[in-house]
Every structure is written in C-alpha cells, then in structure tokens.
Amino acid sequence: MNTTTPLDSTKKSFDRQKFHEVAESMQIAVLDFNMDLELIYANPIAMDIFDFDEKKLDECISFKELVVPEQVQNIEATFNRLISGEEPQSMTIRAITRNDVHIPFQVTPELILEDGEPIGIIIYAIDLSTRVATDHAMMERAEYFRLIVEYSSFAGMVIIDDQYHFEWFNDKFCEILGYSRQELIQKDFREVLHPDSLELTADRYRRRQQGESVPPVYEIKVIRKDGSIREVILSSKIYKSGKGLKSVAQVLDVTEQKQQRRALEKSERRYRTLVETIIAGLGIDDANGIIIYANETLSRMTGYTTQELVGMKGSTLVHELTPDRIQSRREGKFEQYEAHLVTKSGTLVPVIVSASPLMDSENNFEGSFAIFTDISQLKSVEDEVRFLLDLILHDIGNQLQLIIAGSGLIEGDAPEEILLRAKEYILDGAHRSLDLITKVRGAEQAKTESLTPIDITEVIESESMLLWRQHGVMPDITGVPNSLMVLADGAVNHLIWNILENAVKHNTSSDPEVWIEGFIEDDCFLLEISDNGPGLDEEKRNRLFDVHRRYGGVGLHIVRRLAEKYCSLPEVSDRIDGHPGEGLTIRLRFHLAKDEP
C-alpha cells in the first residue's frame, strides 16, 4: 500500500504540469481531480485501466462515474474530511473499469494546495485484483505443499530442534519408524538410530549446527519400534527460525531396494561363478554375430584370451559353420550338433555345440549364446576302443587260426608226432591269446595308476635278461647309470619289453642285435632302443604309433599309451640316418624323479 503525506501548506505554488510529467512514468494509476471532483488528468496506467483517451478527458468526467454508486457518498465524505485538514487515509474502493468490470483498488488521496489554498485532489490507486489472485494462488500453493509434505507416500519429512528432539514429522516418517505421532513428538532422535549409525549421524548434526559444511545426503540405519532395522537415505539441511537453528530432513526408506540389490548381486555372483567355472565353454554374441562375452573355459579351449575373443566374429571359431545354422538361430530355434572349434594355433577341437537364440521382449532376435562341450577325450576313447577291438580281433583271430590248424591235425590214426605238433599249435595259440588279454587288461589298469619314482636301470637290466633267456639276444647297454629314478608306474616293464621283443621278433637278420643307450637332457631321461632289423619306410615310421593305424599289434598300442602317459609319444627314426633298411631306433622320454626335500 502506498501512502503519502499532505503537501506542505506553506508551499507557495504547485507545479501541476511538472507533477504530471513525473506521474507518466509511475507504475500505479494516478488521477488528478479539480475541486469539483472532475478528472483533469490520468497517467498511462489509469488511462489503460479505465479505457480513456485524450478526448474522453476533455469531457469533465466526475469521480462518481468511476466508482460503484453505493460507495459515492463515503468517498465524498472522505474527500471533505481531507479538505477540512484531516490526514489522508487509504481506502478500498471498487472502480468501474472498461467493459463495466468492477475491480477493487487501494486508493490514497492527497490534497493539492497553492498559496495555502486547496486546488485539487490527486488519487494514487493500486489494482488489488492481481494481488488478491496472487495471494489466493499462494494460499493454494501452500496448501498443495502442505498436502505433499504431510501425506507423502514415498519420503518421510522431519524437523529436529537444536536439542536433538523431533519437533515435527509427517505420516510417512511415523510409518517408517512404526511409532505414533504422540510417541515420537519431543523424542530424542538418537534413540531411533542404530548403533552403527549413531556416531556418524550425531556428529554431522552437531557440525551442521555449528555452521560447518558436511555432506547433506548419506545412508544410515534406524531401529523401528518393533526392533527391526531399516536402511534409509537421509537428506538434511539447516534453517534458522526465531527459536534457533533447526534441521530439516527428508528420510527415504530403501530397505527393500537394498535387499533386492544384495539378492541380485548374490545371484549375479552365483551365476557368474557358475559360468566362469563351468567345464564347458560359453560364448555370447550379438545380433551381428560379434562375440560380447566368453568364459575362461572357452578361452582355454581355443587358446585365445577372453579379451581377444570379445569382438571376434563368432563364426570364425566354429569350423565350417553353415549359413543355415546361423539362420536357424535368427528364427529362434535351439539346436545341438557336433562341430570343431578352431583354436588360435589352427588346430581343431571336437565339440558338441548347444546353441540357443536370445530374443528381446518383443521376440526380436538380439543375439545367441552357445555352450561348447569338449569331446576330444570321448573321441579319443571311441577311436581307441575301436582300434583295440580291431587289434584283438586281428591278433586273437590269428591265434585262433593257429588253434584251428592244430585241431585239424588231430585224427584217429594220426601219428604221435603229428598229434604232438597239433597239441603244440593249440597250446601256443591259447597261451598267446591269454597273453594278449593280459596285456590289454594291464594297459587299461595302468591308465589310472599314479606315477611314482621307479629305478629305470633295474627295469632295463631285468627286461634285457628276459630277452636273453627267451630269444637268445643280449642288448648292448651304454649311457645308463647304475641307478636312476624316473616317474613311471608298475607297467613300465611292459613298455620296455614290448619294444625289445619287437626288435627281435621282426628282425630278419641272421644275427639279430639290439642296442640300448641312455641320455640325460634337462629334467628328462632319454632312452633309445635300436635294432639291425629291416626297418620301416618313412610313411610307416610316421604312423607306427598313430592311434588310427591298422597294423603293429597290441604291443605297440601299449607302448604308445604308456609312453604318452609318462612323458610323450615315442619318436621313431632310422638307426642309421637315410638308411631305413639298416634297422630302427625308438626313443622314449621319462621325467626325472625329483629328490624329496
């Protein structure tokens, strides 16, 4: 409300024109009336309110035309009191504005004097309609804020005085703590804090009261009335009131969210552990076939690091992956098939692929994942079993032919010499068959036997003596220490014997010879067994210990398996380089047994 004081009655003159110039820039309505209360001037604000123009002002408008009729008498009385010398007083009127709209105004009259005599009245008018609307809007907004704060369903609101006491709180805060309003009012807020949060919260409260800058948002634990613990996020600020400093805090209960997050993290850890430790390889690619995840097993299977795998085209890992398989995945089909993984070195690993599409919520293809199960060992076992069956059928079949031949010699009138020979054939075939079965059984048992320190010198000497007794050939031994411990098992004598026996049995020389020579190389003992037999051409040498070969007998199969178990596959070469007809050399490797500390 604007108020003015009367012009000094001692002032000799009043420059009305100059005042009108000043009134032109005023932001309230200003009207100048003569002593007949006829309007002689209105500033732009007033002209706009009453829809005046210069021509209208020349019509000597009376103030009575500008106010509602029921207020004319009171206004005249006010003007008369002003003229009689009373102090001006503001009053509220209802003016008739454009389009006959009645608007409330706060007006303040001021008497104009010239040489001590009144010559007119100036009216300052403030439009109250805008202020009334603003006040109403503010009241409505305040009510909205009160409703939001009081009935907030997601956040508790609390005011704490400078003595740690709850001064005000909303219903949500009561719900979080499980107390009624009567139980919480004036309660010390430290009583509801969990011991883990008491020191932190109280310290920040004190520091905030002292004007220090502390983080406004932090997580704490509170204790409900029933003793249960809730986790909340506290957002607190200080404000000054007439009664001192007070803390205003917003309290958000995040217990369920934290529990869900912990459960999700636990589940994620569990499944990540499962994925990372699964014995099968796992890969995930996107809709473009680019690998976006690979576990450690897939890394080991392929020889690539997981970092190298991510970003690769998935199809480059699967040998001869056909477009129709890729299309099946895009069509949402699950598939299981045998394939080969291409390793970093270029070798192929046989696997069973279990491939499944990944679809989004709208059933659009966004990638696929595949589990790769290494079946190398299974394939190896299948090949070995097939090979063993072939060998047994071949070797035992030969012995059965011998038995059949011997039985054919047995006739009622056959001479005793023929009967003895038939008996020899039959017994020899049976013994050889039993020997083959024993060898195969021993080789199978050796698969699971652990490696232990064995004196390889004793084994070489004993098997050499056996060769002398059975075949009359004594190997020439050089480079073998008096005692040498290597890692082997109880079947190592079969390994040495089979090589020695083959060196003599398949030797067509009139004077068979066998040489045994030993070397120590780094942490290995190398044992070479050579003969002066007919030897083998290069192709047969390379395939002598091949699991897929179809010649050589069970004995060489046992040699291959045992040598591979002890260290590596046997190496086969000409005894004299470039002269395959001069005999064969087989080299074996054994790991040296380390001395016990």
For residue range 279-322, what is the model confidence (pLDDT) as tens digits?
788 899 999 999 999 988 899 999 999 999 999 998 999 988 88
Q: Which of 383, 319, 329, 328 is nearest to 350 (CA)?
A: 319
How much of the chain, in percent, has pLDDT values that exceed 90?
A: 27
Q: Band the pLDDT of 239: cuts 50, 70, 90.
A: confident
Taken as a whole, the chain contains a residue count of 597
Q: Band the pLDDT of 78: cuts 50, 70, 90.
A: confident
Query: Mean pLDDT lowest for which of 211-215, 490-494, 542-546, 563-567?
Result: 542-546
Q: Band the pLDDT of 424: cuts 50, 70, 90.
A: confident
Q: Which of 251, 247, 246 is nearest to 220 (CA)?
A: 251
- The pLDDT, as a whole number, for residue 422 is 77
Model pTM greater than 0.75?
no
Q: Band the pLDDT of 459: cuts 50, 70, 90.
A: very high
Identify whether the C-beta of residue 80 lies closer than 8 Å to the C-beta of residue 88. no
- The pLDDT, as a whole number, for residue 274 is 66
* Strands, sheet with 476-478, edge to edge from the N-terminal-most edge strand: 476-478, 514-521, 524-531, 584-591, 571-574
What is the C-alpha to C-alpha distance for residues 365 and 252, in angstroms, rounded to an integer?
40
Identify whether the C-beta of residue 115 lies closer than 8 Å to the C-beta of residue 12. yes
8-state DSSP, 193 = B
Instruction: Retrieve residue 230's tokens.
Output: 């809730």
What is the C-alpha to C-alpha distance for residues 130 and 92, in angstroms, rounded to an integer?
14
Identify whether the C-beta of residue 355 lies closer than 8 Å to the C-beta of residue 334. yes
Backbone angles phi, psi at 261, to 5 degrees: -65, -40
Q: Is 506 helix (H, G, I), strand (E, B) or coil?
A: coil
What is the C-alpha to C-alpha distance for residues 105 and 65, in angstroms, rounded to an integer?
15
Instruction: Retrieve residue 533's tokens.
Output: 């037999």
- The pLDDT, as a whole number, for residue 453 is 93
What is the C-alpha to C-alpha distance for residues 574 and 366, in angstroms, rounded to an integer?
59
Q: Which of 544, 559, 554, 550 is nearest to 432 (CA)?
A: 554
Query: Mean pLDDT lowest for which of 355-369, 425-439, 506-520, 530-544?
Result: 425-439
Q: What is the mean pLDDT of residues 515-520?
A: 95
Residues β-bridged to residue 18: none
Strands 514-521 and 476-478: parallel
- The pLDDT, as a whole number, for residue 142 is 52
Q: Band the pLDDT of 2: cuts 50, 70, 90.
A: very low
CB atoms within 10 A of CB 326: 16
Identify whether the C-beta of residue 518 lies closer than 8 Å to the C-beta of residue 526. yes
How much of the chain, in percent, has pLDDT values that exceed 70?
A: 86
Q: Which of 69-73, 146-150, 262-266 has the highest mean predicted lDDT (pLDDT)?
A: 69-73
Q: Which of 381, 340, 332 is nearest to 359 (CA)?
A: 332
Q: Is the pLDDT of residue 370 over 80?
A: yes
Q: What is the mean pLDDT of residues 170-197?
A: 88
Instruction: Retrieve residue 271's tokens.
Output: 């499944």
Sign of the alpha-carbon dihedral angle for 55, 57, 59, 64:
positive
- DSSP E strands in 256-347: the ranges are 281-286, 291-294, 335-342
Q: Is the pLDDT of residue 256 over 50?
A: yes
